[in-house]
Amino acid sequence: MQIYVMKIEKKKDTITFEFPLESPRYNPYMEDNEQHGNYPVFTCLIVRHDGYDEMGFANTIDMNYADKEDQFSDIIVQWDGEEKEFIEKCRELEFGLQII
């Protein structure tokens, strides 16, 4: 199984965190040569609260091994902008969108 390593770069005025778009699915009940498929590393997430919303990118949790839909973590990269633009960016990146 291939495991990715996040790359972090610091330049003069910026810092960049680089992730792959997808990660290989892994089923601990299968042999390595039986593993197949990938899943998106990020899921777009909008969390509705009473009076405000949070938007951003959450880590996708591979649940295929349990014959379940993928899950997602809390937001790990916050979106600082309007909801409409966030949804457009999610479509552009071809990430799934969850609203809770």
Q: Give the tens place of pLDDT for each residue, 14-49.
A: 999 888 888 888 888 778 788 888 888 999 999 999
In a domain, 2, yes or no: no
In a domain, 18, yes or no: yes
In a domain, 16, yes or no: yes
Determine the structural domain holding residue 38 and report its residue range: 7-99
pLDDT category at 3 given cuts 50, 70, 90 is: low
- Residue 13: the pLDDT is 95
The Cα 40–Cα 59 span in angstroms is 9
pTM greater than 0.95 (yes/no): no
pLDDT higher than 70, residue 4: no
Total number of domains constituting the chain:
1
The Cα 17–Cα 36 span in angstroms is 27
The mean pLDDT value for 44-70 works out to 92
Query: What are 74-86's pLDDT values in tens digits?
Result: 999 999 999 999 9
